[in-house]
């Protein structure tokens, strides 16, 4: 019982956007999909829901192939980011129309919730998509995702255009839905700091590959920030995988990734601090800032 | 049934508001320096210590805690689970989590046991860094009212 | 499939509104002409106006279906196969209801125009199927190569526009002339036309399938 992709490859004009990606999404959990721009997040979400074809690999839901399988697709909802750019035909469509089409196709569409959310976000549904602000379009994306009531709901950058108040509203709504229905959510986001406490599981995608997959807390328990006098820090972290070294004079700080059985040697005079998901992500994926010790 | 300290009907929102007035630990903010589930556990403990949550009284549900802090319910459940393992909370099937009899004493003992490691050790470390001698430190403590 | 057909049925009626307003416009232009035709003659000619606007909308709408609705519906979790079936259903529904309306009008109004119209219904069906297939091919090409699709759209649109304009400025005799040419063209080439239509429909189906299976749900 899960949404699973195996050995997914996606190539765009000779460039591998996804390289052998295998991930499994268990029912009843909130997943965070994080990665830098161009890491392949949107492509992966699209392939998981058969909205884009993969170049290779398979996607299955409860063991059944998802591609061209209506009964599997009915259990999935990937609410895409709406670009609303003038050249796409959808810019001339009213929000109302867009939601009506969604309500036609999604079997369990919640009309009452739709009305509630439109009021909450003060959305002008009679306005065309091309005339809506980025924030308004994010709200449309959120409304579709929540009202479709699909057992697996995937959201791509749902809070991208929202101000801090609307983002808080979204997190609360997400929790309301999640606690009420226990359905699975997969959320890609760049605002990691805010979303982190909501994410039971995380998948970090880096340059088209899965870098981390697992329980958020367990992942964070394998990372630590060690700081102090440079020689002490080096000694305490000898033999460990070190990321993101920062030095100021004799003072040094490093983020370490501990493999099973490894530990920091605390007999040296160093400070060991936990890292947040955002700090861990920057340490692992901030290639440009990586200094090898 | 559910035991609430106030005479009001068991209205969660009203109850939460009342807790807030009393300045409860549950309404403290989360910090980034510690795992969230540990903080959840500690906040409930602090409320029990301060008598904000009484023994045999129901504690907020996992979902309520999750919504209060905007955290994943699994994280809240882990924090609550920690206290259940320690015998501070216990589960009443189909109703929820309650403060166990003798919970306050347990927390007191636990925190006292950890007091040296959590509070004296950093104090001594700081004193060492500042060159404060043992006698000077004792004198300072002697001068401070408890 | 039920939800899919519901969408495409509504889509058909939405396009029928465009078609009917176009017909109304042509009708008004015809009535405002120099010599206003007699009412029964006018009424018997209305089906032709209906057919003209029908062909025009069918052809044009097919492009937006491919570039807008197909990716949109993929995004709503419908299978590509079902979307293509739905699209085919829409085309048949639009063609058959248009022809049924024409047939009904001709059956109700006596006269030579009506008799001829009724006789031509089968060939009109073939012609509409051909046009819808060509429109769909143009639309499918637009998904891949924007310019090919645009050119493929502009030529027939120009012809349609020209015919409609020519008809509108005349007094009804213009329409008569156009119809005579078209009728001669259609009735003189029945079997080649049927053959071409079958080929066009097959080509359209294959092309659509190929493109739809690799299409991405960008909106």
Domain termination site, one of A199, A216, A233: A216
Task: Give A-chain residues touching B78 at CB under 8 angstroms.
Answer: 217
* Partners of A255 in beta bridges: A225, A243
Report CB contact under 8 Å: A176, B67: yes
pLDDT at A290 over 50: no
Domain termination site, one of A185, A216, A247: A216
Cα–Cα distances in angstroms (integers) from residue C107 to residues C45, C100, C112, C121, in the given order: 13, 10, 11, 12
Q: Rounded CA gap, C29 and C165, in Å?
A: 9
Q: C175 or A155, which is more confident? A: A155
Residues A209 and A263 in one domain: no
The string of pLDDT tens digits covering residues B56-76 is 999 999 999 999 999 999 999
Per-residue pLDDT, C138:
87
Residues A58 and A159 in one domain: yes
The residues, any chain, with a CB within 8 Å of residue B125's CB and separated by 6 or more, are none
Report CB contact under 8 Å: B73, A276: no
CA distance C68 to chain A (A): 6
Cα–Cα distances in angstroms (integers) from residue A237 to residues A259, A280, A292, A293, C128, in the given order: 12, 16, 13, 11, 77
Cα–Cα distances in angstroms (integers) from residue C191 to residues A229, B133, C124, C187, in the given order: 92, 111, 13, 9
Contact between A8 and A196 under an 8 Å Cβ cutoff? The reply is: no
Query: Averaged over C181-197, what is the pLDDT?
Result: 88
Q: Rounded CA gap, A104 and A98, in Å?
A: 10
Q: Cα B85–B87–B93 angle (5° rounding)?
A: 80
pLDDT at A56 over 90: yes
Per-residue pLDDT, B39:
92
The minimal CB distance from A89 to the residues C64, C79, C80 is found for C64
The minimal CB distance from C7 to the residues A46, A74, A101 is found for A101
Residues A229 and A133 in one domain: no
Average pLDDT for chain A: 92
Query: Averaged over C50-77, what is the pLDDT?
Result: 86
Average pLDDT for chain C: 87
Name which of C77, C90, C143, C147 to mutate to probe chain A: the one with the most chain A Cβ atoms within 10 A of its Cβ.
Answer: C77
The string of pLDDT tens digits covering residues C5-43 is 999 999 999 999 999 998 998 888 777 766 667 788 888
Burial A237-267 (b: 16+ CB within 10 A, else e): beebebbbbeeeeeebbbbbbeeeeeebeee
Q: C163 or B63, which is more confident? A: B63
CA distance A154 to chain C (A): 12
Report CB contact under 8 Å: B73, A199: no
Domain termination site, one of A216, A236, A253: A216
Name which of B74, B76, B121 to mutate to probe chain A: the one with the most chain A Cβ atoms within 10 A of its Cβ.
Answer: B74
Look at the alpha carbons of A88, A91, A97, A99 in this order and tell me if their dihedral is positive or negative: positive
Whether C197 is in a domain gets the answer: yes
DSSP result, C56-73? HHHHHHHHHIIIIIHHHH
Whether C67 is in a domain gets the answer: yes
* Chains within contact range of chain C (3+ C-beta pairs < 8 Å): A
Residues A9 and A79 in one domain: yes
Q: Rounded CA gap, B126 and B129, in Å?
A: 5
Percent of chain A with pLDDT over 90: 83
Per-residue pLDDT, A174:
97
Edge-first strand listing for the sheet containing A251-257: A241-248, A251-257, A223-229, A270-273
Report CB contact under 8 Å: A104, C6: yes
* Partners of A16 in beta bridges: A11
Q: Say yes or no: A102 contacts chain C, CB-CB below 8 A.
A: yes
Any idea where the domains of chain B sit in the sequence? 12-101, 104-143
The string of pLDDT tens digits covering residues A198-225 is 999 999 999 999 999 999 999 999 999 9
CA distance B33 to chain A (A): 6
Residues A131 and A267 in one domain: no
Cα–Cα distances in angstroms (integers) from residue A14 to residues A9, A19, C13, in the given order: 12, 12, 44
| A225-234, B5-14, B85-94, C54-63: least confidently modelled range | B5-14
Q: How many domains does chain C divide into? A: 1
When mean pLDDT is compared over C56-60, C125-129, C177-181, the highest value belongs to C125-129
Work out whether strand A209-215 and strand A201-206 pair parallel, antiparallel, or are unpaired: antiparallel
The minimal CB distance from C67 to the residues A51, A76, A89 is found for A89
Q: Say yes or no: B39 contacts chain A, CB-CB below 8 A.
A: no
* Chains within contact range of chain B (3+ C-beta pairs < 8 Å): A
Residues A7 and A94 in one domain: yes
Nearest CA in chain A to C66: A89
Residues A256 and A113 in one domain: no
Residue A179: band (very low, low, confident or very high) from pLDDT cuts 50, 70, 90: very high
Report CB contact under 8 Å: B66, A179: yes
Residues A278 and A155 in one domain: no
Domain of residue A231: give its range.
222-289
Query: Averaged over A159-178, what is the pLDDT?
Result: 94
The string of pLDDT tens digits covering residues A237-285 is 999 999 988 889 899 999 999 998 898 888 888 888 889 999 999 999 9
Which CATH number does the domain housing residue A206 bear?
3.40.50.300
pLDDT at A151 over 60: yes
Nearest CA in chain B to A200: B72
CA-wise closest residue to A155 among A177, A132, A179, A133: A177
ipTM, 2 decimals? 0.89
pLDDT at A158 over 50: yes
Residue B7: band (very low, low, confident or very high) from pLDDT cuts 50, 70, 90: very low
Q: How many domains does chain A divide into? A: 2
pLDDT at B6 over 80: no
Residue A289: band (very low, low, confident or very high) from pLDDT cuts 50, 70, 90: very low
The CATH code for residues B12-101 is: 1.10.10.10
Residues A265 and A124 in one domain: no
Residues A129 and A258 in one domain: no
| A35-39, A103-107, A285-289: least confidently modelled range | A285-289
* Partners of A231 in beta bridges: none
């Amino acid at each position: 019982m899960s949404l699973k992709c195996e050995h997914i490859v996606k190539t765009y004009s000779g460039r591998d956007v996804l390289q052998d990606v295998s991930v499994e999404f268990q029912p009843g959990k909130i997943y965070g999909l994080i990665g830098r721009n161009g890491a392949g997040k949107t492509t992966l979400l699209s392939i998981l829901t058969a909205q884009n074809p993969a170049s290779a690999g398979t996607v299955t839901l409860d063991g059944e192939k998802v591609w061209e399988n209506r009964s599997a697709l009915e259990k999935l909802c990937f609410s895409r980011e709406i670009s609303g750019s003038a050249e796409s035909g959808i810019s001339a469509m009213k929000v109302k129309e867009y939601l009506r089409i969604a309500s036609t196709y999604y079997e369990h569409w919640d009309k009452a919730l739709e009305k509630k959310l439109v009021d909450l976000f003060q959305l002008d549904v009679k306005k065309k998509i091309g005339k809506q602000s980025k924030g308004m379009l994010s709200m449309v994306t959120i409304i579709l995702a929540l009202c479709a009531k699909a057992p697996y709901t995937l959201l791509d950058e749902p809070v991208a255009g929202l101000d801090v108040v609307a983002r808080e509203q979204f997190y609360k709504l997400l929790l309301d839905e999640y606690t009420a229905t226990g359905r699975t959510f997969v959320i890609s986001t760049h605002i990691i700091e805010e979303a982190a406490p909501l994410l039971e599981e995380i998948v970090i995608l880096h340059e088209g590959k899965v870098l981390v997959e697992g329980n958020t807390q367990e992942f964070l328990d394998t990372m630590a920030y060690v700081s102090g006098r440079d020689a002490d820090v080096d000694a305490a972290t000898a033999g460990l995988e070190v990321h993101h070294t920062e030095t100021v004079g004799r003072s040094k700080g490093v983020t370490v990734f501990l493999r099973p059985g490894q530990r920091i040697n605390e007999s040296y005079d160093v400070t060991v601090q936990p890292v947040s998901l955002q700090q861990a992500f920057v340490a692992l994926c901030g290639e440009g800032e990586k200094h090898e010790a | 049934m559910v035991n609430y300290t106030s005479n009001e009907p068991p209205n969660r929102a009203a109850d939460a508001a009342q807790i807030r007035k009393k300045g409860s630990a549950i309404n403290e903010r989360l910090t980034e320096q510690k795992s969230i589930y540990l903080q959840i556990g500690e906040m409930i403990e602090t409320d029990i210590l301060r008598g904000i949550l009484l023994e045999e009284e129901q504690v907020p549900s996992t979902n309520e805690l999750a919504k209060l802090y905007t955290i994943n319910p699994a994280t809240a459940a882990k924090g609550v689970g920690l206290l259940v393992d320690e015998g501070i909370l216990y589960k009443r099937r189909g109703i929820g989590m309650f403060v166990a009899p003798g919970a306050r004493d347990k927390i007191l003992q636990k925190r006292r046991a950890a007091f040296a490691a959590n509070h004296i050790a950093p104090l001594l470390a700081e004193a060492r860094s500042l060159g404060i001698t043992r006698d000077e430190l004792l004198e300072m403590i002697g001068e401070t009212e408890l | 499939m039920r939800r899919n057909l519901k969408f495409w049925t509504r889509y058909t009626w939405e396009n029928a509104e465009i078609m009917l307003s176009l017909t109304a416009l042509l009708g008004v232009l015809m009535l405002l002409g120099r010599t206003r035709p007699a009412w029964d003659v006018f009424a018997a000619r209305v089906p032709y106006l209906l057919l003209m606007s029908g062909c025009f909308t069918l052809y044009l709408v097919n492009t937006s279906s491919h570039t807008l609705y197909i990716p949109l519906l993929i995004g709503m979790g419908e299978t590509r196969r079902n979307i293509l079936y739905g699209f085919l259903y829409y085309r048949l529904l639009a063609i058959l209801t248009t022809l049924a309306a024409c047939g009904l009008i001709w059956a109700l109004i006596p006269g030579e125009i009506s008799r001829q119209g009724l006789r031509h219904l089968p060939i009109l069906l073939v012609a509409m199927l051909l046009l819808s297939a060509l429109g769909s091919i143009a639309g499918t090409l637009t998904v891949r190569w924007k310019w090919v699709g645009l050119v493929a759209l502009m030529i027939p649109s120009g012809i349609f526009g020209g015919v409609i304009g020519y008809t509108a400025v005349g007094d009804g005799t213009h329409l008569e002339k156009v119809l005579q040419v078209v009728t001669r063209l259609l009735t003189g080439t029945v079997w080649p036309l049927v053959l071409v239509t079958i080929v066009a429909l097959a080509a359209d189906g294959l092309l659509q399938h190929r493109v739809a299976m690799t299409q991405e749900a960008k909106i």
